[in-house]
Amino acid sequence: MAKTAGMRLFIRPRLAAGFFVFVIGMVLSVRAAIPGDLATPENLLDPKKLSPEWQELLGNLQPKPALEATFREQRENDFRRGHRVFGGVLRVWGDRGVSLRYEGAIDVTLVAAPGAVWRRPAEGTWTSYAIDPDTGMAAWSRALWNLDLAALAESFTIHGRQSTDKHWELLLTPAGDHRLPRVHLQGDRRALTSLEVEHNPRRRTLYSLEDVNRSPDTGDWVQYFPEPE
């Protein structure tokens, strides 16, 4: 009788052990990426009463008034095995919002602007995207990418901590509306380096940033945002 793949695993214990370690690792990477010990009373942050350390750190991190970085976006869902990866250039520009220029096979720009999400293919015009809900991207991402804790505190409870190795992290937990995501931000003294958005137990998105430039030349940025001044 031909041996099935499952039987072969039991026949080769080392292979089986390696497989289970891999699976457990995968599960942990999805389910335990947001540290459970961050949301403690001692880590609770009040944006109106920030310590000098936090004030200094945020002053260093916030766009002035723009920010540009390359980003990697990893999407994970319960309905699809593995994950999908997108990449491109992220631009944060004051009140204009956040522009994600996706590059690669599909060249499209999505902008979370005040009041709406806009989309534009490489060759085409801006179109508002009517599916982003009240609690969606347009509602909170501008404050998020600007690290505007005062604005975020209107919707989220904020916990944060800084470590001695210049690493810091923030955890945003929905204050009331359960439809809001849970967001975990991490970075160093120079920049925000990763951001994890847990939309719900079945879906999350991980962003990692590189080449962060907090004083970019915004001269030609009009093409990345739908409505210039």
Q: List interacting residues with other proteins (CB under 8 A).
A: 73, 75, 77-82, 84, 86, 95-97, 100, 102, 105-106, 108, 110, 113-117, 119, 125-137, 179, 199-200, 202-203, 205, 222, 225-229
Q: Which is nearer to other proteins, 38 or 102 (CB)?
A: 102
Q: In what order do the strands lie in the sheet with 97-103?
A: 116-121, 108-113, 97-103, 83-93, 66-77, 203-213, 192-200, 182-187, 168-174, 156-162
Q: Which is nearer to other proteins, 57 or 139 (CB)?
A: 139
Give me the least distance between CB of 73 and other proteins, in Å please. 8
Report the alpha-carbon distance of residue 189 to residue 204 in Å, rounded: 26
Residue 1 identity (one-letter amino acid) = M
Give me the least distance between CB of 130 and other proteins, in Å please. 4
Residue 148 identity (one-letter amino acid) = D
Residue 178 identity (one-letter amino acid) = H
Give me the least distance between CB of 162 and other proteins, in Å please. 31
Q: Which is nearer to other proteins, 125 or 163 (CB)?
A: 125
Q: Which is nearer to other proteins, 55 or 127 (CB)?
A: 127
Which residues touch 101 (CB under 8 Å, ≥6 apart)? 88, 89, 90, 91, 107, 109, 224
Give me the least distance between CB of 69 and other proteins, in Å please. 17
Give me the least distance between CB of 44 and other proteins, in Å please. 27
Report the alpha-carbon distance of residue 81 to residue 58 in Å, rounded: 37
Which residues touch 156 (CB under 8 Å, ≥6 apart)? 140, 172, 173, 174, 175, 180, 183
Q: Which is nearer to other proteins, 45 or 138 (CB)?
A: 138
Q: Which is nearer to other proteins, 86 or 140 (CB)?
A: 86
Give me the least distance between CB of 149 and other proteins, in Å please. 19
